[in-house]
Structure 1
Amino acid sequence: MQFDGDLAEIRFGAGLSPAIAPPESAAEMLSRLQGPDEMAQQFPVSRFEDAVTGAATFRRLRRQRRQLDGKPGYEAADKAYREFRRAQNHARYGWHGQRLLRHVRTRDGLRERLVLFWADHFTAQGKSGPTRVLAAPYAESVIRPHVSGRFEDMLIAAATSPLMLMYLDQNLSAGPGSRAAARRKRLSGLNENLAREVLELHTLGVDGPYSQADVRQLAELFTGLTVSREDAFVFHPGMAEPGPETVLGNTYGGGKPQLEQVLSALRDLARHPATAQHIARKLAVHFISDTPDPALVSHVAARFQDSGGDLVQVYAALLEHPAAWEPQLRNVKPPFDYVASACRALALPEARVADLRPGQLNRLLLAPLTPMGQRWEFSGGPDGWPEEDAAWVTPQALAARLRWAMAAPRRLVQPLPDPRGFAAAALGGFANERVMFAARAAETEAEGVGLILASPAFQRR
């Protein structure tokens, strides 16, 4: 099988760029993935541990504002609260710009795609004002360092992340027989959200070999996983349900509640054959097709299980299978991927993004994702964004893509490229005759570039 660099960059990377050559082999893609994370260094995003300190400041300013309502000093407290909230939103816009620039400038597109994939697989988001800006730092600290490691390590990092614990209300869960439940009547009791999502979404899959009893037992085992007043992860033995718990036939605990009991269960779930099958199919659907070749899924699942969840070996299995290289572009790019690959094709200058004021960055690069169907960092639930092409191919979403393609490029890049050269740069060998005709017939550069970006050929991968 001859390696196709254009297809590799479109299907497994960030899209073609006139400034950056596509990879020359799958081995090069895997090698870069295991090398230094150049884009994280060049375009930094706040670590979760640093960003979360803002949540405490947000709560303090909001509390002061409420306490002074109708009293002297309220105007100053209100101003401080509003200014801090505005600064947090501006920081979120800035992080969005940095993450987009990573896609524009990277030579390691597979890494950027995998960060998006795993951040969606382990969806976590802030549900209240203090934590609503933490999705990007969560991906930076919990997901990104583990994309070329072992699946069980990423699972543990996600399941014990303060953002995940707060998102799924695990921080409020206490064992019915725990010391904390006996002392504090205001506790909400046992919460099964995290246990259910770990089994159904993160590991075994919705059709996995578990029962409601397994969910209940795992939820009891998870009691003790909580968050400190500083929004840091802690294990609180006093909230843990005493006694052993049995999950999928394996028994954990029984003595003094310890974090290691929880981690042992997570490792066992990560190594389960059903987890291998679930992750393999998700990867195949995400990168290849809504209906992937069963032989491809089986091949990737076998490598997952044989390697103990070594993710680089799992990706290698995906890239070495012939079904991964079928030339027809099937999957529709989700909105962020679409906008990011368009900016990459336009070779959007770093300086141009730096020059954008926060409101401009939001209007040009972040807010347009919502009418396309993807309210960025706020998916509809813990199952993340849909993979099915039909979710993105709606009249409203396609109209929003067309509006963006026809209006945004000329506001981002001046001068715009000649459409004929742009078609070749953006699509390589996938610039079909219909695309080239539109490029030749366009009356202006803006019209030609917009038609190319709105074409079905560019919107698929």
Structure 2
Amino acid sequence: MKSTLAAIRFGTGLSPDMPPPADAGAVLDDVLGPDDLAAVFPVEEWGTRVLRIREWGRLRRARREDDAAAEAFRAINRAVTDGYHQDLVQTMRRAAATPVGFRERLTWFWSGHFAVADGPGLLRRNVGSYHDAAIRPHVAGSFAELLKSAVTHPAMLAYLDQAQSIGPNSVRGRRGGGLNENLAREVLELHTLGVGGGYAQVDVRQLAELLTGLGIDREGTPVFRRNFVEPGAEIVLSRSYGGDLPNRHDIDAVLDDLSVHPATARHLSGKLARHFIADIPPPDLVEAMTATWVRTDGALAAVYSTMLDHPAAWGEALQKARQPLDFVAAALRVTGSAERLAGERIRLIRGNLTAPLAQMGQPWLRPPGPDGWPEEAEAWITPQGLAARLDWIAALVGWLDPVPDPRAFVDVALGPLAGPRTRFAARAAEDRGAGVGLVLASPEFQRR
């Protein structure tokens, strides 16, 4: 039972080809070793995408007066759009090929925590490369490094309008413009301390002034703009940062301090426990994770280890609803279907993967806001969401060749977690396709 829970609760599901992780140690080992899958299933780099997006903009402007530019625009528009769908394909292939999947799940979790949505400008079909560069390499390191990597990445700066933030009394501020508090507010309210974490509006304002140097150049590269920086020291949570000479290291210093603040430890320990264990996690689990965070200065692997060592991590009741991305990945993994996506045309990827995710309520790379995706089961187990899942299951089963015997498939998909009603449905189905579909649609498969 424990190995099955390890694969489903902390990984990307059971596999017909790979054994589930034996225990908590095997789950943790998944993120402590090298990240081989990132190289095997690469996502195009941020800078490469930015160059294409800039050319997209140039050709979009030129197409009205130049037939050749119009044709070139259509080609590059396809390339930009194809990259968005291919990022989803690579995500699914990684989820299917990984021995465990804890690294994949953590990447999805932290990408939701540091949410950035697909949008105009630099964010046009480019959020996947932000996840791969800013989030994935740091999911098992220190939270301070993860925080600095995500918050200062050009994608986050563009998403929260930080590039337009100008210190009112700066050299640049004398010519107009103003302070933007978006990034500062989300850093305190969402990324670190949390609501009720002990900060006030004056801390938001002072942090926003400290962040004014962060910007993006035309190549989509982060830059520090000294003439945008609000002069003087800033006081954030009663601690002084900066001074007469604008310095990029002052921003690192405040993020380092926020990463180890007790309120951050409690907020993010609770959020991790809610994501992996239960919508209302046991208080003693959150306390234990918080204590580890404080003791280790936010060493994420140690915090995960504390979570995995707690009895609540291995309760047999499936208390969490699988979010659509998690559900689709698990279904593709257990049916051995993910690798077929590599050769499919983009039109089919869009129709069979990207569009169904949106219909289930989780459009690819488009979280509803800076606070990411909701955790509670009620957000996902809805009439519309369930109908979309059932439609997608029917399409997936029609794609299988051969269709497995549902009497064996129920054990492959759920192991000892399969209840008597699901086992009966698998045995009594009128044909193989119906039986496999019933297993994938079962309450047990929809939860973890």
The normalised TM-score by structure 1 is 0.95
Q: Displacement, 1:219?
A: 0.4
CA contact (8 A) 1:33 1:108 kept: no
Within a 5 Å distance, the mapping from 1:57-96 to structure 2 comes to 57-65=55-63, 69=64, 71=65, 73=66, 75-96=67-88
Whole-Å separation in 1 of the counterparts to 2:343 and 2:209? 51
Q: Which residue of 1 aligns with 2:125?
A: 133
Unaligned residue ranges in structure 1 (runs of 5+): none
Q: Which amino acid in the other structure matches residue 82 of structure 1?
A: R
* Partner-residue secondary structure (3-state), 1:223: helix
Q: Does 1:305 align with 2:290?
A: no
Does the alignment pair 1:192 with 2:190? no
Counterpart position of 1:344: 333
Give the Cα separation in 1 of the matches to 2:210 and 2:163: 13
**374-383 vs 122-131, greater mean Cα deviation:** 122-131
Aligned partner of 1:259 in structure 2 is: 248
Match of 2:363 in 1: 375
Identity rate, percent: 48
C-alpha distance 100-374 of structure 1, shift in aligned 2 (>3 A)? same
Partner of 2:36: 38
Q: Could you tell which deviates more after superposition, 291-300 or 104-113?
A: 104-113
Q: Which residue number corresponds to residue 428 of structure 1?
A: 415
The Cα shift of 1:217 comes to 0.4
Which one of 159, 165, 182 corresponds to residue 151 of structure 2?
A: 159
CA-CA distance at 1:50 after TM superposition:
2.7
**Equivalenced residues, count:** 448
Match of 2:226 in 1: 237
TM-superposition CA deviations, 1:228-267 (whole Å, max 9, x none) = 0111100101001001100000000112111001110000
Deviation at 1:222, TM superposition (A): 0.5
Gaps of 5+ in 2: none
Structure 1 residue 150 corresponds to structure 2 residue 142 = yes
Q: 1:26 aligns with which of 24, 27, 31?
A: 24
The answer to whether residue 308 in structure 2 is matched with residue 319 in structure 1 is yes
- CA gap 1:374/1:145 in 2 versus in 1, 3 angstroms: same
Provide the residue aligned with 2:351 in structure 1: 363
- Partner secondary structure for residue 119 of structure 2: coil
Paired residue secondary structure (2:360): coil
Cα shift at 1:297: 0.3
Could you tell me how far apart the structure 2 residues matched to 1:30 and 1:84 are?
41
Is the contact between residue 117 and residue 369 of structure 2 (CA under 8 Å) also seen in structure 1? no
| Residue identity in the other structure for 1:370 | A
Root-mean-square deviation over aligned CA pairs: 1.2
Q: Once the two structures are superposed, what CA deviation does each residue of 1:77-109 show, in whole Å capped at 9, x if it has no partner? A: 222112211111112211211110111111131
Shift of 1:51: 2.2
Distance in 2 between the 1:305 and 1:362 partners? Answer: 44
Matching residue of 2:170: 178
Q: Residue type matched to 1:432 in 2?
A: G
Tell me, yes or no, if the aligned pair for 2:47 and 2:219 is still in contact at 8 Å.
no
Q: CA deviation at 1:362?
A: 1.4
What amino acid does structure 2 have at the position aligned with 1:383? D
Find 2:116's aligned residue among 112, 118, 124.
124
Q: CA deviation at 1:458?
A: 0.3
- Show the counterpart of 2:206: 217
State the SS of the aligned residue for 1:124: coil
Give per-residue Cα distances to partners, 1:12-33, cap 9 Å, x unaligned.
1111111110111211222231
Residue 130 of structure 1: CA displacement?
4.9
CA contact (8 A) 1:125 1:164 kept: no
The alpha carbon displacement at 1:182 in A equals 1.1
Q: Which amino acid aligns with 1:8?
A: A
Deviation at 1:165, TM superposition (A): 0.2
